[in-house]
Structure 1
Amino acid sequence: MRRLTGLRVAGGRLRHGWRPVLEATVAATVAWLLATRLLGHPQPFFAPAAALIVLGQARGQRIRRAVEVILGVAAGVLVADLVVQALGPGSTWTVFTVILLTVLLAVAFGATGVTLVQAAVSALYLVVVAPPDGTLVPFRFVDALIGGAVALAASLLVDARHPLAPLVAEVRHTFDELAGLLAGIADALDRRDESAAMDELTRARGMDVRVDGLRDGVLAAGEALRLNVRRRRHIGRLRSVDESVRQIDYAVRNVRVLARAGVTLSRLHTPVPPELGVALRSLAEAVREAGAALAADLNGQDEAADRYASRADESALAAVHTAGQLFGSTQALPLAMIIGQVRATAIDLLRGVNPDDDAAVLARVDEALGLPGAGRDARRFLR
């Protein structure tokens, strides 16, 4: 049974990960062919190695990593050539001196971990495996350049037709998971199920990974657009999502506090008002509509984006209004905290969908909550 489960897990990983495997294999092979057949390099080790190193980085970091790999190889080759000529190849002192000088040089120039390691490995390879032969032709540096260029070209080909598609998928997954989390909290409170509420709190604590994935998706999309000749029509859409990510991060933090208060409320003997579940489910619906709005905006579907944003606004204000009606019904602190977090989440959510409507969003939410003077402020902001 365990073997069968392990095979299923392995099969699932292959189904989801075959594209990066194929991409890396083809890129490394192409880099090798270019270095050997086109340029005639005798031992182009660094061409496929550089391609694999660059493609092994997360999308959004590959241009920088390609430059770092090339610089690392150049520094390592330079140090190895000088030290081997002075001390000879293969000795312990040569190895010690090459590694020491290479790392010192990389640190002095502020190199990151990838550049530092690449420089040291390149130098060590030249000392132990393929000592310099005294030629002035920079074969290894050119090989690293070829590998990095092929890796970037492979990234470009993968994202050429739909450079924003991975980010759209990440937006949808993030918002769907956040909406499901809110609905799960509502179900747990309806049943007064402390165990289920704890499970939802655990999920809420894991939402930071989703936000990080969203940030990485924005970086990857930016990199794809920098490599895309038709990037201009996408840049504005990407910037709008980039501005929204910070507000989504705030909303995730609010939901985490809400989930923690939900655990406390589920432990109390006081009944949970059914309106609270209604408010949380309305807020979950607002999250789904907000995610659909951002995804439609990235896809260039302006009318659909406006329609989803309007629905998100309606559902978020409905959630705040419903929660606000519970203020006078109980003095339980956890309930008051949840109501406050419903308001805060609605504000951050709507700010994320409408980043240019900051003051009006705050006024509309407070009016829905029934705060004194909020309606007057809202009318003033909306003029």
Structure 2
Amino acid sequence: MRRRFRRHLARRVERLRASLLPILQCAVAAGGAWFVANNLIGHQRPFFAPIAAVICLGVTLGSRLRRAAELVVGVSLGVLVGDLLISVIGSGYWQIALVVALAMAAAVLADGAALLVAQAGASAVLVATLLPPGGTGGLDRCVDALIGGVLGLAAAALLPTDPVAPVRREARMLLDELAGVLDEVADAIRSGDVETAKGALNRARASQPLIDDLRGAIRGGSEVTRVSPLVRRRRGALAKFAELAERADYAMRNTRVLARRTLTAVHDGEPAAPEFADVVSELAGAVGVLTAQLGRDGDREAAREPVLDVVRHVRAMDWQPGTSETVMVAQVRSIALDLLQATGLSRGDALAQMRG
């Protein structure tokens, strides 16, 4: 329990470090948006400009282009519907309810994205409560939203984060967890302890957030390369990590099956060959080698030989596996195949090397 808490805390601290540059981007974009709207455009209190910049950027790397577009379109819809209706029906509780409902309905028809719909409703409330009907405030809000969105994207382009670093960090976390689960499975096979086997299975089942975080980091990094020409050359490295993420996902799924079958075997008292536990430990070590190979550009060919050693050792074992062990051996081979593909091999080449 204490070990898991330390792992959880370490991940939080690491994510805070990774968020420092996005936070700086938000701060610079917010200040710049206020300066442009107030000092250059002449809006007296352009509070929506810095708000738009912060919403556009956030502290995550993904979907910034989409958020900027949704922000501007949502504000424009809300202001348009609100200004047109309030100038005719006046302002009051039922007018606010009607304006918000119509503005959000228009946003749903236009796109349906959550941010667009929310901004349409919020802008309609502003028009209905703060802006004089028929005044220029509604247009000013649209301009402020546009300024904030543009300044947000400019900050992302001129102060780009490293699109690969978060991906590499998340990939290492996922692979570390994969190796940890395999080690626990090996311990369960050696000891024949049901609780150890249950712990390995529960840990494997709890790994999905790590996979989701890795995929989210890849999407965010890809968007950074689209927004900023300064880091466009990093697309090749991201493509390698995208393949790694796919294969690591499959490897973890196969590890869940391995852990579940191990629990069944231990619970039913089926004997397990001690050398097979060593093979699973060796597979965990091969994952560790793969993790160590996640260099700056995701090169990982050197991790292939340790994985192939595992396959050779399984083939060389002199034993007659039982029912559960047969399934477990098949899962080890499947995990090895996933890991070989994670190093950049095609499925056909990986199978050929496993048979060789």
Do both proteins adopt the same fold according to a TM-score greater than 0.5, normalized to the shorter chain? yes
* Segment drifting more, 250-259 vs 283-292: 283-292
Structure 1 segment 305-344 matched on structure 2, within 5 A: 305=299, 308-310=300-302, 312-325=303-316, 328-331=319-322, 333-344=323-334
Contact conserved, 2:79 with 2:138, CA < 8 A, in 1?
no
1:226 corresponding residue in structure 2: 226
2:147 corresponding residue in structure 1: 146
Contact conserved, 2:243 with 2:344, CA < 8 A, in 1?
no
Deviation at 1:39, TM superposition (A): 1.8
1:245 partnered with 2:277:
no
Structure 1 segment 1-383 matched on structure 2, within 5 A: 16=16, 19=20, 23-56=25-58, 58-88=60-90, 90-135=91-136, 138-160=139-161, 162-293=162-293, 295-296=294-295, 299-300=296-297, 305=299, 308-310=300-302, 312-325=303-316, 328-331=319-322, 333-355=323-345, 357-365=346-354, 367=355, 375=356
Letter in 1 for 2:301: A
* Segment drifting more, 17-26 vs 171-180: 17-26
Residues 42 and 220 (structure 1), Cα distance of their counterparts in 2 relative to 1, 3 Å cut: same
Letter in 2 for 1:64: R
Contact conserved, 1:61 with 1:220, CA < 8 A, in 2?
yes
Residues 131 and 260 (structure 1), Cα distance of their counterparts in 2 relative to 1, 3 Å cut: farther
Instruction: Give the TM-score of the pair, scaled to structure 1.
Output: 0.82
Contact conserved, 2:157 with 2:229, CA < 8 A, in 1?
no
Unaligned 5+ runs, structure 2:
none
Percent identity, aligned pairs only?
A: 36
Deviation at 1:14, TM superposition (A): 11
Measured in 2, the distance between the counterparts of 1:87 and 1:155 equals: 42
Measured in 2, the distance between the counterparts of 1:262 and 1:157 equals: 52
1:371 corresponding residue in structure 2: none
| CA offset digits 1:18-41 (Å, max 9, x no partner) | 725555445333322332222221
Contact conserved, 1:275 with 1:322, CA < 8 A, in 2?
no
Deviation at 1:249, TM superposition (A): 1.5
Measured in 2, the distance between the counterparts of 1:235 and 1:15 equals: 22
Residues 327 and 154 (structure 1), Cα distance of their counterparts in 2 relative to 1, 3 Å cut: farther
Residues 78 and 309 (structure 1), Cα distance of their counterparts in 2 relative to 1, 3 Å cut: same
Residues 232 and 113 (structure 1), Cα distance of their counterparts in 2 relative to 1, 3 Å cut: closer
| CA offset digits 1:197-242 (Å, max 9, x no partner) | 2112111112221111111111111111112223442222222222
* Segment drifting more, 127-136 vs 282-291: 127-136
Residues 189 and 14 (structure 1), Cα distance of their counterparts in 2 relative to 1, 3 Å cut: closer
Where 1:138 maps in the other structure, the secondary structure is: helix
Measured in 1, the distance between the counterparts of 2:126 and 2:106 equals: 17
Matched length: 345
Measured in 1, the distance between the counterparts of 2:129 and 2:264 equals: 63
Measured in 1, the distance between the counterparts of 2:301 and 2:307 equals: 10
Deviation at 1:98, TM superposition (A): 0.9
Q: Tell me how large the CA RMSD over aligned residues is.
A: 2.6
Measured in 2, the distance between the counterparts of 1:218 and 1:156 equals: 17
Deviation at 1:350, TM superposition (A): 0.8
Measured in 1, the distance between the counterparts of 2:301 and 2:350 equals: 12
Where 1:226 maps in the other structure, the secondary structure is: helix
Deviation at 1:265, TM superposition (A): 2.2
Letter in 2 for 1:143: D
